[in-house]
Amino acid sequence: MPKERRAPSYTCAVWYDTHPVNDALLNFATSSGFLLSGVATAHGWHALAPYRWDVATGTLHRIEDLPGGVTHLAVTQPDGILVRAGRPLSPDDKHEVERRLRWSLRLDENLDAFTTLCAREPALSAAVLPSGGRLLRCPTLWEDTVKTILTTNTTWAQTKAMAARLVATLGPHPPEDPSLRAFPPPEAVAAAGEEVFKEQIRLGYRNASVLKIARNVAEGKLDLEALKDSDLPTHELRKRLLALPGVGPYASATLLMILGRYDELGIDTEVRSHVSRKYFNGEAVSEKDMRAVYEHWGRWRYLAYWFDPQ
DNA sequence: TTCCAGGGGTAGA
DNA sequence: TCTACCCATGGA
């Protein structure tokens, strides 16, 4: 996934223009200092369907499948978090929206220890300030797992295209509007079969991994969401993630970050080039070199790298 | 045509 | 534990 320092790319989705949202339906407070725009754009997830970030209005759009059906949500921050929806929301819908947003925006995650440590490095502190160290995630670990797999060994443009095809092909939608698609649940993916993936969704060799995970979740053999509240130590959680098909060292570190565990650096070509450029004068670096640079950040290594200015 | 992009799985040493 | 090789996809 790209860091914010990459040129942002905003795809214009049809549903944004054709599905205006209603008046304020849900409004809840956030802690002081929380900045929606900072959290939404601190990494690239906002550009993957069914998320979309509108930079002009500071609105995080998302299509969500709620108890009352699929609808368009538009999230802004005039004061607290304001959510508008494409249809009236029932009390159950509102409860779900708030629960999912609290998780996705990390409203209940305390990163004070990290931001305090950052104060010793002004450039890093400035980079962290807009988001407070919070990186946007998806409502379910299922969705984050699939999207993480879609970032492996490919370009960001292809990751966005793969996510868009997955949502457009299998995402649930209101009966009257097939263009309004939420992220497909594992059951829908499992039911789709290999041919649909090969011909329409085209994830390449990632097809098999995504299908396998979807089937295991759908059949009750795998409970990804249980990992969100897990008390397991990080190394044990890492083992569980590495057991998933298509998830290796890079993807497991990314998913640990999603779960709020920042101990481990997700080594990939971007980390390699960043560390080489900034700390080794452009020379080739080993994995040991890269880890050594952020070692002293302890349980905050991932975030220390992520917000490390060029 | 060939290379390669924010890797993962596997065999063989 | 380390290395080499292969794995779809699609843009350059």
Between CA A254 and C1' B8 the distance (Å) reads 14
Asked if residue A212 lies in contact with residue A224, where contact means CB atoms within 8 angstroms, the answer is: no
State whether the beta carbon of A245 lies below 7 angstroms from any atom of strand B.
yes
Per-residue pLDDT of chain A (310 residues; tens, 9 = 90+): 555 333 223 233 334 445 566 655 677 777 778 999 999 999 999 999 999 999 999 999 999 999 999 999 999 998 889 999 988 899 999 999 999 999 999 999 999 999 999 999 999 999 999 999 999 999 999 999 999 999 999 999 999 999 999 999 999 999 999 999 999 999 999 999 899 999 999 999 999 999 999 999 999 999 999 999 999 999 999 999 999 999 999 999 999 999 999 999 999 988 999 999 999 988 888 888 899 999 999 999 999 999 999 8
Q: So what's the architecture of A14-128 in CATH? A: 2-Layer Sandwich (3.30)
Say which CATH topology domain A141-231 has: Endonuclease III; domain 1 (1.10.340)
Q: Would you state the structure tokens that stand for residue A37, as one six-digit string?
A: 């725009």
CB-proximal positions of chain C, under 7 Å: 7-11
CA A176 → CA A15, A45, A205, A212, distances in Å?
A: 13, 28, 34, 31
Taking alpha carbons only, the member of A69, A92, A89, A67 closest to residue A23 is A89
User: What does the pLDDT read at residue A13?
Assistant: 37
Tokens, residue A123: 């450039």
pLDDT of residue A97: 94
Q: How long is the CA A154 to C1' B1 vector, in angstroms?
A: 20
Instruction: List the beta bridge partners of residue A69.
Output: A66
Where exactly does CATH 3.30.310.20 map onto chain A? 14-128
d(CA A16, CA A284): 45
Residues 185-214 of A with CB under 7 A from strand B: 205, 209
- What does the block give as tokens for A87? 């249809």
Count Cβ atoms below 10 Å from residue A122 Cβ, excluding itself. Answer: 10
User: Secondary structure of chain A in the HEC alphabet?
Assistant: CCECCCCCCCCCCHHHHHCCCCCEEEEECCCCCCCHHHHHHCEHHHHCCCEEEECCCCEEEEEEEECCEEEEEEEECCCCEEEEECCCCCHHHHHHHHHHHHHHCCCCCCCHHHHHHHCCCHHHHHHHCCCCCCCCCCCCHHHHHHHHHHCCCCCHHHHHHHHHHHHHHHCCCCCCCCCCCCCCCHHHHHHHCHHHHHHHHCCCCHHHHHHHHHHHHHCCCCCCHHHHHCCCCHHHHHHHHHCCCCCCHHHHHHHHHHCCCCCCCCCCHHHHHHHHHHHCCCCCCCHHHHHHHHHHHHHHHHHHHHCCCC
Domain with CATH 1.10.340.30 in chain A: 141-231
Q: Quick check: A288 CB within 7 A of strand C?
A: no
Which strand B nucleotides have any atom less than 7 A from protein CB atoms? 5-9
Residue nearest the C1' of C6 (CA based): A205
Residue A106 near residue A286 (C-beta atoms within 8 A): no
CA of A134 to C1' of C2 (A): 36
Give strand letter and number of the nucleotide nearest A244 (CA to C1'). B8
Q: Round to whole Å and give the CA distance between A248 and A251.
A: 5
- Return the number of other C-beta atoms located less than 10 Å from residue A21's C-beta: 19
Instruction: Output the pLDDT for position A24.
Output: 54
CA distance linking residue A114 with residue A297, whole number of Å = 9
pLDDT for res A227: 97
